[in-house]
């Protein structure tokens, strides 16, 4: 699926990285624990998380993750936004739970890692 | 080549800036992407540990043709029982660290997995010294 299709499917609002909406994503990982995200060895995945802070962006930078969905209506502050823009990431805010977002995207054909 | 960085203990908003800088350096040096990723993930976890537990720390990076050595020396409480600290799931992290998305007792095992040689020495009440060596050629491990 393209990032644009992903955002539409989950009723998400793209906060930054609009120029990358046509990029295709095949795998996703849901976690609020950044050490678990750092264990993922596949690149170009979608991260679904309820953790909205600078370490979410830093962790994604180290893990080469370029697209993050923030669940449960977590809001992105300007500090997070600016670090994400610096790293060329797509950030999506979404009102749904991690469970619902994961279920919707799994049904739509996005693959799990494990 | 040698590089040196400082880490301020408790400065949560800057945790990861050293790993980020090193990632950019390794890209400029054309280091294999998989090798570079292991180095920056190990360094990032170690940097978070210093921010979370120590008062301050110094990161020294030493790169030659064969390997990259990271040495992190911190002033802090130290680790009284290193084998215990290496156990996955063991953590002494504060609620603040857990709010950052860490503190589940996985940092040291993530570090160990992502470097080829890991040496940790610590003096309780004084500080901890972490040495991580990673070979730059993927098949040299």
CATH of the domain at B120: 3.30.565.10
Q: Which residues of B touch A54 (CB under 8 A)?
A: 12-13, 15-16
The reported pTM is 0.94
Domains in chain A, CATH or no CATH each: 3-107 (3.40.1390.20)
> Could you tell me the mean pLDDT of each successive run of 10 residues in chain A, 114 residues long?
98 97 98 95 94 96 97 96 97 98 98 94
Q: Which residues of B touch A61 (CB under 8 A)?
A: 16, 20, 23
* Partner-chain contact B110 A56, CB within 8 Å: no
DSSP A74: P
Domain with B125 in it? 2-140
Q: Which residues of A touch B12 (CB under 8 A)?
A: 54-55
Q: Which residues of A touch B110 (CB under 8 A)?
A: 35, 38-39
Is the per-residue pLDDT at B138 higher than 90?
A: no
Tell me the shortest Cα–Cα distance from B41 to chain A, in angstroms.
Answer: 6
Q: Which of A39, A53, A64 comes nearest B100 by C-beta?
A: A53
Question: Residue A34 in contact with residue A112, Cβ under 8 Å?
Answer: no
State how many domains chain B has. Answer: 1
3-state secondary structure of A29: strand
3-state secondary structure of B6: strand
pLDDT digits (tens, 9 = 90+) for B68-107: 999 999 999 999 999 999 999 999 999 989 989 999 999 9
């Amino acid at each position: 699926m393209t990032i644009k299709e992903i955002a539409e499917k989950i009723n998400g609002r793209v906060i930054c990285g609009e120029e990358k909406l046509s990029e295709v994503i095949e795998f996703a990982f849901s976690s609020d624990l950044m050490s678990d995200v750092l264990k993922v060895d596949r690149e170009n995945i979608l991260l679904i998380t309820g953790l909205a802070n600078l370490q979410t962006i830093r962790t994604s930078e180290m893990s080469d993750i370029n697209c993050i969905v923030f669940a449960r209506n977590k809001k992105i502050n300007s500090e997070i936004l600016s670090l994400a823009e610096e790293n060329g990431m797509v950030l999506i805010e979404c009102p749904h739970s991690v469970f619902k977002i994961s279920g919707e995207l799994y049904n739509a054909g996005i693959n799990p890692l494990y | 080549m040698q590089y040196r960085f400082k880490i301020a203990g408790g400065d949560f908003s800057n945790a990861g800036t050293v790993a980020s800088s090193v990632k950019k350096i390794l890209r400029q040096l054309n280091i294999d992407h998989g090798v570079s990723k292991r180095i920056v993930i190990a360094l990032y976890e170690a940097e978070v540990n210093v921010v979370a537990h120590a008062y301050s720390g110094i990161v020294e990076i030493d790169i030659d043709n064969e390997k990259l050595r990271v040495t992190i020396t911190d002033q802090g409480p130290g680790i009284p029982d290193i084998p215990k600290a290496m156990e996955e799931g063991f953590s002494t992290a504060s609620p603040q660290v857990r709010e950052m998305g860490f503190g589940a007792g996985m940092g040291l095992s993530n570090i160990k997995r992502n470097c080829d040689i890991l040496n940790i020495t610590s003096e309780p009440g004084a500080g901890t010294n972490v040495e991580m060596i990673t070979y730059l050629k993927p098949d040299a491990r």
